[in-house]
Amino acid sequence: MMSLSIRPFTASKFAAEVSGIDLTKPLCREQIQAIDEGMDQYGVLVFHEQRFSDETQLAFSRQFGELEFSNGAELYKERRLQQMELADISNLDPAGRLRPATDHMRLTALGNRLWHSDASFRAIPAKYSLLSARTIPGTGGNTEFADMRAAYDTLDDDLKAGVADSITEHSNAYSREQIGIPKAEYGEENQIKLKPVRQRLVRYDSRTGRKSLYLSAHIGAIVGWPIPEGRMLIRELIEHATQRKFVYAHAWRQWDLVVWDNRTTMHRARRYNDLHDVRDMRRTTIRGEGITAEQTQEAA
């Protein structure tokens, strides 16, 4: 068996590079456990040269839990990728052509450039996301990650106390609204999927004993607060959490697999020339383990 080694990037302590493992082959229990422990310790793990097919990516991902269906699959009929558990993070249409400037899927996908946590708009939000780079653009198109445990730890004490029990409302509609896409565009039949869900603003992780700020562009309100006041606090917290000292910027190589924990990190896509260069990434997403709003907070 190859020996897996995990080495943090010197500049960002919550992201690490893993070597000595081929994820496209079946793994043993110890290897899965080592990856889970690495995810608990860090929050972002980078693996190079993982030449996944859709099938091997799905098989690898299933070893970490139940997979989510991709949101695009639910909101739109047209699909390029066959499996519902694969989110198509690309600028291609079902025929494999670049999407034109006014394409509605292209425009909604721009929402990925807002800082977010995947599927925070679902009652049971995502645990890990696994993003495989199949084709990368010539320049641009980095993905940035922010360390939400460090963000929590460095809050002022009065702010920590002020948000300790806060509950937020998340909906895809709120993030889309920020880039000017109205709710109505999703049609009558999808309105139910835009209904806000409640999440804790501060999450506690019993495995590591650490707390994290659970922020996302999908947040539109803090329960019990006037809307503008809630939104301004969320904006302030996102600014705090995404200071450069808490951010790891991933510059992709083809066949990278990056795994992140949506409970302890946020992320965003960066701009690239998407009308000209192909960027084909495929994401599998592991379902979380429970409803965060019902989670109890251990004493700090």
Residues that bind ligand OGA (CB under 6 A): 89, 112, 118, 129, 131, 143, 267, 269, 281, 283
Alpha carbon distance 39, 149 (integer Å)? 13
Report the nearest approach of ligand OGA to the CB of residue 192 (Å): 23
Alpha carbon distance 33, 115 (integer Å)? 29
Q: Check binding of 147 to Mn ion (CB under 5 A).
A: no
The residues in 93-122 that bind Mn ion, with binding defined as CB under 5 A, are 118
Q: Check binding of 280 to Mn ion (CB under 5 A).
A: no
Report the nearest approach of ligand OGA to the CB of residue 3 (Å): 30
Pairing of strands 143-147, 126-135: unpaired
Decide which of Mn ion, ligand OGA, none touches 281; Cβ closer than 5 to 8 Å per partner kind.
Answer: ligand OGA
Collapsing DSSP states into helix, strand and coil, what is residue 117?
Answer: coil
Report the nearest approach of ligand OGA to the CB of residue 153 (Å): 24
Alpha carbon distance 143, 115 (integer Å)? 10
- Taking the alpha carbons at both ends of the chain, their separation in whole angstroms is 40
State the number of binding residues for Mn ion (CB under 5 A): 1
Confirm if 137 and 275 have CB atoms less than 8 A apart.
no
Q: Check binding of 88 to Mn ion (CB under 5 A).
A: no
CB closer to Mn ion, 118 vs 256: 118
Alpha carbon distance 235, 217 (integer Å)? 9
**Sign of the Cα pseudo-torsion (147, 199, 285, 65, in order):** positive
Decide which of Mn ion, ligand OGA, none touches 68; Cβ closer than 5 to 8 Å per partner kind.
Answer: none
Alpha carbon distance 26, 53 (integer Å)? 14
CB closer to Mn ion, 118 vs 274: 118
CB closer to Mn ion, 18 vs 281: 281
CB closer to ligand OGA, 218 vs 267: 267
CB closer to ligand OGA, 129 vs 199: 129
CB closer to ligand OGA, 86 vs 163: 86
Report the nearest approach of Mn ion to the CB of residue 276 (Å): 23
Decide which of ligand OGA, Mn ion, none touches 131; Cβ closer than 5 to 8 Å per partner kind.
Answer: ligand OGA
CA distances from 185 to 62, 92, 107, 181, 189 (A): 33, 21, 12, 7, 11
Q: Report the residue closest to ligand OGA, judged by CB.
A: 269
Confirm if 248 and 260 have CB atoms less than 8 A apart.
no
Decide which of ligand OGA, Mn ion, none touches 269; Cβ closer than 5 to 8 Å per partner kind.
Answer: ligand OGA
CB closer to ligand OGA, 68 vs 118: 118
Decide which of Mn ion, ligand OGA, none touches 143; Cβ closer than 5 to 8 Å per partner kind.
Answer: ligand OGA
E strand intervals along 91-179: 126-135, 143-147, 167-170
Alpha carbon distance 91, 113 (integer Å)? 14
* Binding residues for Mn ion (CB under 5 A): 118
